[in-house]
Structure 1
Amino acid sequence: MSLKELTEKQNGLVAQAREALDEIKSNTDEARSAELESRHDAIMAEFDAVGKKIERERKQAEIEARAAELEAEDRAKKRPGASDKDETRGADEGDKPEYRKTFYKYLASGANLDELSGEERSVLRAGVAKDGEQRAQTTSATAGGYTVPIELANQIIKSMAAWGPMYDENICTTITTSSGNAITIPTVNDVATAVVKHTEGTALTDDGGSDATFGQKQLDAYVFDTEWIKFSFELAQDSIFNMEALLGELLGERLGRRANVELTTGDGTGDPNGIVTASSLGKTAAAVAAITFDEIIDLYHSVDPAYRMSPKARFMFNDSTLAAVRKLKDGDGNYIWSMGDVRRGEEGTILGKPYSINQAMASLATGNKTMLFGDFGKYFVRKVGSPVIGVKRESYWPDLGIAGYIRLDGELGDTAAVKHLVQA
């Protein structure tokens, strides 16, 4: 099915799901109500499955476009009159295929530098990444750590963002540094400080009562790794482009899950201060395992309007909470959840604000912080360079092992900017 057909199917599923809920009236018996709710949940599960198909179609289209691009580049280099300079220009730029090809030759050789020419070793050791950044490397024949080629790095980062919204620079504020030294973020909350009316001819008050109070928070660089992923020598040797996509998904998924958990619920002691941990109380739900539309409104209005108007203001909760929210109606019987439009790049909304599904957040149960709302731009994610990978041969021979690691930290600059709803 085309993207258009899949989108139309999603629209139809939403209509069917709402029809099921609309059949539930005040006089509908419990058994029938449960049956209709179950039908709604099943339809919305299919809606989500179609959404995943749409995402896969998009990803496949991107991969095919990139493959066509690389093929066109290779054809251009093989044309008569192509200069030697054209053939070797990738030695000092990060997004050229020369480094990428050398990197995969390195993988296929089982991380054996002796299998590479002097020029290839030189290209590999350059560790080219974004903005020309170079990273420390180990260069033994059995376990070498190299900054990944830019295409693979982008695939890993994209997969990480897909598996965890807290790593997405479109949601949070990202600071990328080339080293892991601790950095500080200045903080100030001046919202409550008033400006006074001036009386002509009188001196300005200078009692310190309106001074700005600055603070600071520190961002460190905690290290997280994937552990080893085992794969065959033949795969590395024969499947260059597919290998890139495969490794990007595998490494990105593993790194993304852990990074997202840390940036969501980390306690700030030896790991990032997760946004749920750092957020302040906005609303306490009356029920143990349910939420109401009024409570979502109260959470929304517990955040200062200045933060609510931020382009990065949004809700965040896990998928089971979304299922509950999809069934809520306002006083006029309208559903508060609105479906987005993937063709226009529009997200689904609640109270006119976008939301993110974060599976690291808790489900509806006693004492759990189940929903966040606020300006996620005030949450700072510190990334140290690009992902780094290492390759292992001997202990897996004739197969290979690959592992990746990242360095990051996270901190909420202003606790008033993001608030949570907690269950009773």
Structure 2
Amino acid sequence: MSLKELQDKRSKLVHDAREAMGEITKNTDEARSAELEKRHDDIMVEFDKIEKQIEREARLVAAEERINKAAEEERKAKRPNGSDTEQRAVVEGDKPEYREVFYRFLAGGADLGELDPEERKILRAGLTKVDAEKRIQTVGTTTAGGYTVPTELANFIVRSMKMWGPMYDEDICTTITTSSGNPIKIPTVDDTSKSGGQHTEGTALTDDGSEDATFGQKSLDSYGYDTEFVKFSLELARDSIFNMESLLGSLLGERLGRIANTQLTTGDGTGDPNGIVTASSLGKTAAAAAAITFDEVIDLIHSVDPAYRQSPKVRFMFNDLTLAALRKLKDGNGQYIWTMGNVQTGVPGNILGYNYSINQAMANIATGNKTMLFGDFGKYFVRKVGSPLIGVLRERFWPDLGIAGLIYLDGELGDTAAVKHLIQA
């Protein structure tokens, strides 16, 4: 099924779901209401499947375009005589690119002996001196050491991490990227409760210290997380050279994305980031242990000061099962509070006019769980230390290979009044 067909099917499912719920009125008997609600839920399950298919299809099309482009560049670079490396050097009038040598290193079984002297020199040198902090040596012999990850692969891993965790996305939170892991101190201040007063002519200004601004300080450190080794065959590295960037980026990015998002969401701040859920303050306590009402959503919104609600990064955050519950809520006029977006025009779905992010690291609706967040996520600081690190091992997994990713990060909410949570009774 093409991308357009999937999108058309998704639109029809939303129409059918609304139609099913629209048939429920005050005069509808319980049996018929239950039947229509089940029909709605079944349709929305299918809707979620189609959403995921659309996402996979879009990613596949993008990956195919990259592969085709790389293959075309490879064909253009080849000449009748000489090795591929020599041919590319002749065409480009320069040394082989680091990325080419890195892939050749993997395809050769992570064996430096498979590279010529010039290629080994390029691999050891890395991209530039600026990238020196991204070098890592693996456990084992020096000939199986890890080398600087190519910029393209590093970027692919970061993109994949964002897809698997909204907390790693600079469009949602405020990110700070540093080359070293030294602690960073963030000054904090909440002055929303202060105001000015009427001035009387000829009267001295009050100076009793009661209106002084109260500053605080929080620290962003550097905590490391790894993927453990991802094993793959020598044949795969050798024969799927143009797919390797996509393959490794997806595998490592998904794993790093999950752990980074989890820590930035629910980390306890002791030896880990202070997660957004942990750091947020109470906005509303739901009356029920396993349900959320429309009025409680409104109360959560208004528990956050209007100054924060004007931020471009204000939003809701919850997991997918909570979204399923919110989709069924209606206002007093029978209108759903959830509004469908449009992927084609870049319009996201929203709840009561506010954007939302799905975060699977957040808890389900159950007793005592913090199930919803709302506020200015721009006040949550994510500290990224350098780029992802890559390590390659051959001997341990011979004849296959193992590759692992490592990242360093931290997170802290600079202003606890900016993000509030709803907790179940």
Structure 1 pair 87–359 and aligned structure 2 pair: CA distance change class (3 A): farther
In the alignment, which residue of structure 1 is the partner of 2:114?
115
One-letter code aligned to 2:402: G
One-letter code aligned to 1:66: R
Query: What are the ranges of 5 or more consecutive residues in structure 1 without an aligned counterpart?
Result: 91-97
In the alignment, which residue of structure 1 is the partner of 2:99?
100
- TM value normalised by structure 2: 0.92
Q: Deviations over 1:249-294 (max 9, x none)?
A: 1111111111111111010011011000000000000011000111
User: By how many angstroms is 1:76 displaced?
Assistant: 5.6
In the alignment, which residue of structure 2 is the partner of 1:407?
408
For residues 334 and 400 of structure 1, what CA distance do their matches in structure 2 show? 56
One-letter code aligned to 1:183: I
User: By how many angstroms is 1:47 displaced?
Assistant: 1.2
**8 A Cα contact 1:316 1:371, kept in partner:** yes
- Counterparts of 1:116-195 in structure 2, within 5 Å, are 116-128=115-127, 132=131, 134-138=133-137, 140-141=141-142, 143-195=144-196
**8 A Cα contact 1:142 1:393, kept in partner:** no
**Structure 1, 195-204 or 264-273: larger mean CA deviation:** 195-204
In the alignment, which residue of structure 2 is the partner of 1:14?
14
For residues 229 and 352 of structure 2, what CA distance do their matches in structure 1 show? 44
Q: Deviations over 1:96-148 (max 9, x none)?
A: xx222111111123322233233323322334389756424217446423332
- Counterparts of 1:190-205 in structure 2, within 5 Å, are 190-205=191-206
One-letter code aligned to 1:349: N
User: Is 1:301 aligned with 2:302?
Assistant: yes
**Structure 1, 49-58 or 400-409: larger mean CA deviation:** 49-58
Q: Number of aligned pairs?
A: 417
One-letter code aligned to 1:123: I
For residues 30 and 413 of structure 1, what CA distance do their matches in structure 2 show? 49
In the alignment, which residue of structure 2 is the partner of 1:245?
246
User: Is 1:267 aligned with 2:233?
Assistant: no
- TM value normalised by structure 1: 0.92
SS for the counterpart of 1:42 is: helix
In the alignment, which residue of structure 2 is the partner of 1:36?
36
For residues 36 and 131 of structure 1, what CA distance do their matches in structure 2 show? 61
Q: Deviations over 1:19-42 (max 9, x none)?
A: 222233334444433332222122
Q: Deviations over 1:346-381 (max 9, x none)?
A: 110001011111111011100100000011111111
**8 A Cα contact 2:112 2:143, kept in partner:** no
Structure 1 pair 344–292 and aligned structure 2 pair: CA distance change class (3 A): same
For residues 91 and 210 of structure 2, what CA distance do their matches in structure 1 show? 66
Quick one: percent identity of the two aligned structures? Answer: 70
One-letter code aligned to 1:107: L
User: By how many angstroms is 1:61 displaced?
Assistant: 2.8
In the alignment, which residue of structure 2 is the partner of 1:422?
423
For residues 249 and 332 of structure 1, what CA distance do their matches in structure 2 show? 45
User: By how many angstroms is 1:169 displaced?
Assistant: 1.3
SS for the counterpart of 1:240 is: coil
User: Is 1:325 aligned with 2:331?
Assistant: no
Structure 1 pair 263–374 and aligned structure 2 pair: CA distance change class (3 A): same
**8 A Cα contact 1:142 1:394, kept in partner:** no
Structure 1 pair 147–132 and aligned structure 2 pair: CA distance change class (3 A): closer
For residues 335 and 162 of structure 2, what CA distance do their matches in structure 1 show? 32
Q: Deviations over 1:291-348 (max 9, x none)?
A: 0111001101111111111111110101111110000001111110000010111110
In the alignment, which residue of structure 2 is the partner of 1:48?
48
One-letter code aligned to 1:362: A
One-letter code aligned to 1:37: E
One-letter code aligned to 1:161: K
For residues 129 and 178 of structure 1, what CA distance do their matches in structure 2 show? 14
One-letter code aligned to 2:244: M
For residues 129 and 258 of structure 1, what CA distance do their matches in structure 2 show? 29
User: Is 1:88 aligned with 2:101?
Assistant: no
In the alignment, which residue of structure 2 is the partner of 1:59?
59
One-letter code aligned to 1:148: V
Query: What are the ranges of 5 or more consecutive residues in structure 2 without an aligned counterpart?
Result: 81-86
Structure 1 pair 204–119 and aligned structure 2 pair: CA distance change class (3 A): farther
- Counterparts of 1:225-374 in structure 2, within 5 Å, are 225-374=226-375
Q: Deviations over 1:168-220 (max 9, x none)?
A: 11111111111111111111111111122223333332222222221111111
In the alignment, which residue of structure 2 is the partner of 1:94?
none
For residues 410 and 3 of structure 2, what CA distance do their matches in structure 1 show? 37
One-letter code aligned to 1:102: V
**Structure 1, 104-113 or 409-418: larger mean CA deviation:** 104-113
Q: Deviations over 1:64-111 (max 9, x none)?
A: 333344345445655999985934367xxxxxxx22211111112332
**8 A Cα contact 1:127 1:134, kept in partner:** no
SS for the counterpart of 2:409 is: strand
For residues 300 and 126 of structure 1, what CA distance do their matches in structure 2 show? 53
**Structure 1, 51-60 or 370-379: larger mean CA deviation:** 51-60
**8 A Cα contact 2:188 2:217, kept in partner:** yes
Aligned-residue CA RMSD (Å): 2.3
For residues 144 and 188 of structure 2, what CA distance do their matches in structure 1 show? 42
- Runs ≥4 residues deviating over 6 A: 79-83
One-letter code aligned to 1:88: D
